[in-house]
Amino acid sequence: MAEGSSIESISHEQRRFVPPKDFAAAAHIRSIEDYEEQYKRSLADPDGFWAEVAADSHFFRKWDRVLQWDPPFAKWFVGATTNVSFNCLDLQLQRGRGDQTAILWEGEPVDAQGRPRDVQRITYRELHRRVCRFANALKSIGVRKGDRVTIYMPMIPELAVAMLACARIGAPHSVVFGGFSATAIVDRVNDAESHVVITADGGWRRGAIVPLKATVDEAAQASPLIRTVVVARRCGQEIAMQPGRDVWWHDIEQGASDDCPAEPLDAEHMLFLLYTSGSTGKPKGILHTTAGYMVFTAYTARLVFDLKPDDVYWCTADIGWITGHSYVVYGILQNGVTTLMYEGAPNFPEWDRFWSIIERHRVTKFYTAPTAIRAFMKQGPQWPNRRDLSSLKLLGTVGEPINPEAWMWYHAHIGTQRCPIVDTWWQTETGGILISPLPGATPTKPGSATRPLFGVDAAILDKSGQEQPANSGGYLCIRRPWPGMLRGIYGDEARFRRQYWSEIPGVYFTGDGARRDADGYFWIMGRVDDVIKVSGHRLGTAEIESVFVAHPKVAEAAVVGFPDEITGEAIAAFITLKTGIAPSPSIKDELSRHVAHTVGAIARPKVIRFTDALPKTRSGKIMRRLLRELATKGTVEGDTTTLEDFGSIARLREEES
Rounded-to-integer distance, Cα 357 and Cα 314, Å: 10
- Of 1-5, 10-14, 175-179, 503-507, least confident by mean pLDDT is 1-5
pLDDT (tens digit per residue) in 146-173: 999 999 999 999 999 999 999 999 999 9
Does residue 333 carry a pLDDT above 70?
Answer: yes
Long-range contacts, 649-654 (Cβ 8 Å, 24+): 649/615, 651/611, 651/612, 651/613, 652/574, 652/609, 652/611, 652/615, 652/627
Rounded-to-integer distance, Cα 292 and Cα 484, Å: 5
Q: Rg of the chain's alpha carbons, rounded to an integer?
A: 24
Rounded-to-integer distance, Cα 309 and Cα 336, Å: 7
The DSSP annotation for 412-439 comes to: IIISTTTS-EEE-B--TTTSS--B---T
Q: What is the dihedral of CA 487, 286, 636, 602, to 10 degrees?
A: -40
Confidence of residue 536 (pLDDT cuts 50, 70, 90): low
Least Cα distance to 311 among 332, 290, 282, 285 occurs for 332
More confident residue, 113 or 621: 113
Confidence of residue 280 (pLDDT cuts 50, 70, 90): very low
Confidence of residue 476 (pLDDT cuts 50, 70, 90): very high
Confidence of residue 625 (pLDDT cuts 50, 70, 90): confident
Find the mean pLDDT for residues 100-126: 97
Rounded-to-integer distance, Cα 220 and Cα 214, Å: 10
Confidence of residue 563 (pLDDT cuts 50, 70, 90): confident
Q: Which bin fits 506, alpha (ψ -120 to 50), beta or left (φ > 0)?
A: left
More confident residue, 365 or 599: 365
pLDDT (tens digit per residue) in 240-252: 999 999 999 999 9
C-alpha distances in angstroms, 652 versus 261, 402, 532, 612? 55, 24, 21, 9
Q: Which residues contact 77 (CB under 8 A, 6 or more apart)?
A: 54, 59, 63, 65, 66, 267, 291, 292, 295, 483
CB atoms within 10 A of CB 565: 6
Does residue 459 carry a pLDDT above 90?
Answer: yes
With 0-12 / 13-18 / 19 or more C-beta atoms within 10 angstroms meaning exposed / middle / buried, residue 472 is middle
Structure confidence at residue 1 (pLDDT): 41
Structure confidence at residue 567 (pLDDT): 72
pLDDT (tens digit per residue) in 488-505: 999 999 999 999 999 999
Helix (H, G, I), strand (E, B) or coil at 406: helix
Q: What is the pTM of this model?
A: 0.87
Does residue 143 carry a pLDDT above 70?
Answer: yes
The DSSP annotation for 221-268 comes to: HH-TT--EEEEE-SS-------TTTEEEHHHHHTT--S--PPPPEETT
- Of 70-84, 200-214, 576-590, least confident by mean pLDDT is 576-590
Find the mean pLDDT for residues 406-423: 97
State the amino acid at position 127 in one-letter form.
L
pLDDT (tens digit per residue) in 287-322: 999 999 999 999 999 999 999 999 999 999 999 999
pLDDT (tens digit per residue) in 418-458: 999 999 999 999 999 999 999 999 999 999 999 999 999 99
pLDDT (tens digit per residue) in 43-92: 999 999 999 999 999 999 999 999 999 999 999 999 999 999 999 999 99
Find the mean pLDDT for residues 379-408: 95
Helix (H, G, I), strand (E, B) or coil at 175: strand
Does residue 565 carry a pLDDT above 70?
Answer: yes
Structure confidence at residue 569 (pLDDT): 83
Confidence of residue 644 (pLDDT cuts 50, 70, 90): low
Confidence of residue 535 (pLDDT cuts 50, 70, 90): low
Main-chain phi, psi angles of 499, to 5 degrees: -75, -35
- Of 258-262, 328-332, 532-536, 552-556, least confident by mean pLDDT is 532-536
Structure confidence at residue 619 (pLDDT): 62
Helical H segments across 426-531, by residue range: 493-501
Does residue 126 carry a pLDDT above 60?
Answer: yes
Diameter over CA atoms, the chain: 73
- Percentage with pLDDT > 90 across the chain: 77
* Average pLDDT score over the chain: 92
Does residue 645 carry a pLDDT above 60?
Answer: no
Structure confidence at residue 470 (pLDDT): 93
Find the mean pLDDT for residues 96-113: 97
Confidence of residue 3 (pLDDT cuts 50, 70, 90): very low
Least Cα distance to 300 among 320, 325, 267 occurs for 325
Domains identified in the chain and CATH numbers: 531-656 (3.30.300.30)
